[in-house]
Amino acid sequence: MKFLRNLLASILGFFISLFLFFMFFALVGSLMSSSEDIEVKSNSIIELDLSASVKDFAPKDDNPLSEILDYTDEKVGLNAIINAIENAQVDPNILGISIKTSQVNAGVAQTQAIRDKLSDFKESGKFIFAYNDFYDQKNYYLSSVADSLFVNPVGSIDFKGLSTEILYYKDFEDKYGVKMEVIRHGKYKSAVEPYLTNTMSESNREQTTSFLQSIWSEMLSDISVNRNISEDKLNNIADNLQGRNATSSKNNSLVDGIIYQDEYVQKLKNASSEKIHMISLQDYIASGKGRRNVSVSKDKIAVIYAQGEIMYGEGNEDVIGQGIINKAIKKAKKDASVKAVVLRVNSPGGSALASELIWRELELLKKEKPLVVSMGNVAASGGYYISCNADKVFAEPTTITGSIGVFGMLPNMEKLASRIGINAEQVSTNNNPEYSLFEPMDPRFYEVTKEGVEDIYDTFLTRVSNGRKLTKEAVDAVAQGRVWTGKEAVNIGLVDALGNLDDAIIAAANLADVSAYRIRNYPNYTHDFKDSFSFNPFLKASKEKLLKETLGAETYRLYTTINEFQKWKGIQVRMPYLFEIK
C-alpha cells in the first residue's frame, strides 16, 4: 500500500514538474518573441479591424501567463487607435488604410472619435478604402468615411435608423411573487421603471426618443457629407430599407462598387506600382505607433481613465472603485511635474457613496491643479456626478450624459414565501424599522430610506449647481434622472463644449499655461505574480467570452443584468445600463 502511494506521488510529481518545465520555456519564448520589433515596411496599408473590444484605456496585462495561454480578452485602447491613425498620417511607409472589420466593437461616441480621426487622415492625401460582406449600422457609419466603399455581391447594408429595447418585469414579479421594492427621485429615472410597470412611461419614451434622434442626426450628418447624399434621402433609405441588398445599396449611392474579396484585394494592389504590404492596426500599434510623439518637456498632463460601473471598493480596469481612482488622483496631485489633470469618464454611474468619495478627491485636486473632464460613450448619473465639478467639461456629440437622479432598490419575496409555505419571524432588541426579504416593507423603513434618497438627490443637485455655476432650481429642471446627449447637454449648461479627448488635453494645458508637455496615463493596474496561477491553464477563453458563446448575446445580456444587480450596494446614482442602441 505504501509502495502504491509513493508511486502515485512520484507520477504526480513528474507531471507537475513537466508542466512547470513547459510553462517556463513557453514564458521565456513568449518574452523573447515579444521583444522582437515589428517592422513597418514601405508601401504598407493598415487594415483597420475593430472587432476586438475598444476601451478608452487598455493597458497591457502584466500577468506573464495570460498571453501564452490566450487567457486575456482581445481589447485595444481608443487612445492607441487615435494615436496610430495620427502617426500613420505622416508615416512615409503608410500608403493608406483599409477598413475591413466584421463588427465595430465600440460605443457610438468612440466610433465617432475614430471616424473623425480617419477624416483628418484623408487630408494627408492618402486613401481610405472599405470593404465588407455586409455592414451593420455602426460598421457602415464608420466605413462611410472612406474614399471608396465596396460590398460583396450577395451582401447588404443594415441601414434602418436607431432603436433600443427595454425589458419590463412587472408581470413576471406578480406571477412569481418576487418583486423589487423601489424608492427613487426623478421622474425620468428609468433604471427602476421596468420593476414598477410593464409598459414604458411617457417621460421615459420622451427622453429615449430625444437622445436616439440626437445621435441619429449626428450619424446622418457625417454620412451625408462623405457620401454626398442629403439627410432627407438617407432617412428615406432607412425608412424603406433600401440597403437590404447590394444592388439597392449601389443604386442609392450607399456604396461605390459591388465586388468580391479577391477583387477588393486587387484594388488595394493597384494603389501602388510596387508590392504592397498589409499590416494590422494592432501590429502597427505594437510597433510603437500607438504612442504620441514624445515631448522632451518635463511637464506632464495626467489623463486619469474612469471606465465602467461605479462600485464601492478598490475597483479594477473594468470597474470604477474609489480605491484605485483616488490613488491615481493623489499621485497626479503629488507629482510636481503634472501641471493639469484630465479625467476621462466612461461610466453609467453606480454607487452614490463611491461617487461622492471620488468627487471629494477631485475637489481637493482642483484646488491645486486645473481639472478638465472628457466624456466618452457615457458619463451619466454617477458618471456625471464625478464630472460636474471640473474647470471645463467636454463631451462628444453622441455622449450619453445627465441622468441626475437617485434610487434605492431591494428585492422582496414575501408573496413567493407565502405561496410555498415559508414564514419568517423576527426578534430585535430595539424598535427601529428593519427590512426583511420575506415580509412586506415596513412603512417606517420606506420613509427612512426615502429620506436617504432625497438627501443624496439634494447633495447631487448641490454638487452640480456649484460645479456648473447654476442655481439648484435650474439644475433640477434638467435633472429628474433625464438622459441627454452631449450635443443636448451643451445647450442646457451641463457640458461646456463638444470635443474629444485631445481637445480636453489641449484645454487642460492652456489652463495650466504650458505649451510643451507629455501625457501620463493613470491608473496603474498591477497583478500579483500568484494571480498568474489562479486560473485553469487549459481554459483558452475568458469566462465572459465562454458565457457569450454558450448563452448567446440576448441571454448573456439578461444574465449580466441579474449578476450586476447582486453587486449593487447602498443607494444608487446610475442610468439604465440595459440601453443597447441598435
Farthest-apart Cα atoms in the chain, separation: 88
For residue 232 the three cell numbers come to 432627407
CB burial string 419-454: b at 16+ within 10 A, e below: eeeeeeeeeeeeeeeeebebbebeeebeeebeebbe
Residue 157: phi, psi to the nearest 5? Answer: -125, 120
CA dihedral 463, 464, 469, 475 (to 10 degrees): -130
Q: State the catalytic residue, choosing from 189, 300, 339, 487.
A: 189
Partner residues linked to 127 by β-bridges: 96
DSSP characters over 138-178: HHHHHHTTSSEEEE-TT--B------------HHHHHHHT-
Q: State the catalytic residue, choosing from 144, 156, 381, 403.
A: 381
First to last CA, the chain: 66
Q: Is 381 a catalytic residue?
A: yes
3-class SS at 468?
helix
Nearest by Cα to 504 from 290, 281, 343: 343
Q: How far is the C-alpha of 518 from the C-alpha of 508, rounded, in Å?
A: 12
Q: How far is the C-alpha of 577 from the C-alpha of 564, rounded, in Å?
A: 10
Please report the sign of the dihedral spanned by the C-alpha atoms of residue 175, residue 178, residue 181, residue 185. negative
For residue 233 the three cell numbers come to 434621402
Q: How far is the C-alpha of 553 from the C-alpha of 547, rounded, in Å?
A: 9
Nearest by Cα to 200 from 172, 170, 173: 170
Q: Report the relative pairing of strands 338-347 and 349-351 from DSSP bridges.
A: unpaired
Q: Is 287 a catalytic residue?
A: no
Residues identified as active-site: 189, 381
